[in-house]
Structure 1
Amino acid sequence: MDNDLADLEDEMAHGALNNIAVFCPGLTDGSLGDMFYFHSFRSLGLIVDVVQDIRAMNGEAVHANPRKTGMIILGGGLPKHHICNANMMCNGADYAVFINTAPKFDGSDSGAHPDEAVSWGKIRGSAKTERFIHLFNFPPFDWLNQVHCNATIAFPLLVAETFAKKAVETMT
């Protein structure tokens, strides 16, 4: 990616300027995949190597040792699956927070709770945990690290709280 990018607010520009890998495991899913297909009839120059992407993503987790790995999953589905699987390659993430609105009862990966990821080795059994937070006024559950809320609401609040704690620590 060109490091001379004008829009520094863009996530891709931020990644390029700070040498942060950006993966899109579902690149060929849906309408974008359709556009790649149609484009291939006009130009054979575009090559999408999903195997190299998965090797790079899994490699990030495998080569993280002795550092720790963590996951903040906004939503679910395909990105959640790939991020969790990458951490399974290094015996599980040390930290995990899932923010989504998916129910557990339908058996989807999106709604799977962190304890299910522990059972597969995607999160370490010794992982740092937080109490389950459910923002729909249901009774409290004993699940850990999952917030049932729209990510556009919950994630900014979590980020703001993190920076607020850091500011208080700096001032004291």
Structure 2
Amino acid sequence: MKVNQIDISKDMKVSDLVAQFEASDVLGAGRVARATNILANMIKDEDTNVFMSLGGPLIPGGMRNIVSQMIREGHVDLIVSSGANLTHDLLEAFGGAHYRDEGKDDEELNAEGIGRIADINVGSNDFEVFEKEINRLFEIISAKKPVISIQELIYEIGMLIDDENSFIATAARNNVPIFAPGIIDCMIGLQLWIFSQDHDFTISAAGDMPYLSDIVFGSEKVGGILLGGGLTKHYTLASNILNGGLDCAVQITMDRPEAGSLGGAPLEEAKSWSKAKCGSNLATVVGDVTIIFPLIYAAALDKI
């Protein structure tokens, strides 16, 4: 079958552009189109619970409102997040912000109390407010629940935040559970350790498993939106081994497969581990999540 050439026209919609990708159906354009169709179908299917994993600097990279919108619209049913994305969501909820880098030398940034994430800057003053506020929330939560699972902790934090753009707060108010198996590896984890030195407050990682397994077993079908790789991707995939694997999934990653890392593994590899079902509908798109996911989600909205 002949490759169709892509046509561009003035004022065309995102969905029209992706339709041109679909007509071409080769290389990255074809993968973006397939990912769009899988995403739209999993959102439309009322029998499919949608699990989304958030790896990499997605919240400081501008994805915060998109994640919150998906929760409000009922387009995602469960989130697995890195601790860093939770931290940066709270930093903004507490009044901080993320700034575009101005090209300063890293040692100069260090002297000014600024941390750099690629071309994103975060000030130490905002982290000082973060530390104060998160400890205030720990005081409230620990008095009520001295032993708590990670998911419950994130829920309780979300219920105490007054920020409609916070994906943590939005998830709590819409009963979308957030799991964060690597929460210790972030500023929240550091503050938890410091707080626990003189408070009776225990975080149970294993405490998440009964709730998570109940969700998996109670799902007729599960779809995955895997943004970035690493722990959040694996936790999403591995949790679904309990029920034979994901039924459909979209992965967007910049990682490469040659070194054998999970982050770079194509989704088809998950079938060998029963993390994705044989016959499942899968699409891997190699690219920057902050470019590709807004594109496919915008196009999918026209199909829903």
Q: TM-score, normalised by structure 2?
A: 0.46
1:31 CA drift (Å): 4.3
Provide the alpha-carbon RMSD of the alignment.
1.8
Whether 1:15 aligns to 2:171 is yes
Which residue identity does 2:286 align to in structure 1?
H
Structure 1, unpaired ranges of 5+: 130-144, 167-172
Larger radius of gyration between Structure 1 and Structure 2: 2
Whether 1:113 aligns to 2:298 is no
The 5-angstrom pairing of residues 1-172 of structure 1 reads: 1=156, 3=159, 6-44=162-200, 46-64=201-219, 67-129=220-282, 145-166=283-304
1:39 CA drift (Å): 2.1
1:24-65 Cα shifts (integer Å, max 9, x gaps): 111112444333222222322x2211001133223321221x
State the alpha-carbon separation in 1 of the partners of residues 278 and 187 from structure 2: 38
State the alpha-carbon separation in 1 of the partners of residues 249 and 202 from structure 2: 33
Distance 1:149 1:7, change over 3 A: same
Q: Is the 8 A contact 1:73 1:97 kept in 2?
A: yes
State the alpha-carbon separation in 1 of the partners of residues 168 and 245 from structure 2: 27
Q: Is the 8 A contact 2:226 2:251 kept in 1?
A: yes
Q: Structure 1 vs Structure 2: percent identity of aligned residues?
A: 30
Distance 1:5 1:38, change over 3 A: closer
State the alpha-carbon separation in 2 of the partners of residues 156 and 163 from structure 1: 11
Structure 2, unpaired ranges of 5+: 1-155
Distance 1:4 1:37, change over 3 A: closer
Determine helix, strand or coil for the equivalent of 1:95. strand
Which residue identity does 1:18 align to in structure 2?
N
Determine helix, strand or coil for the equivalent of 1:109. coil
Distance 1:58 1:150, change over 3 A: farther
1:87 CA drift (Å): 1.0
Q: TM-score, normalised by structure 1?
A: 0.78
State the alpha-carbon separation in 2 of the partners of residues 19 and 100 from structure 1: 28
The structure with the greater share of residues assigned to helix is 2
Q: Where do 4+ consecutive residues of structure 1 move more than 6 Å?
A: none
Which residue identity does 2:285 align to in structure 1?
V
Which residue identity does 1:125 align to in structure 2?
C
Residue 142 (structure 1) aligns with: none
1:82 CA drift (Å): 0.6
State the alpha-carbon separation in 1 of the partners of residues 296 and 213 from structure 2: 27
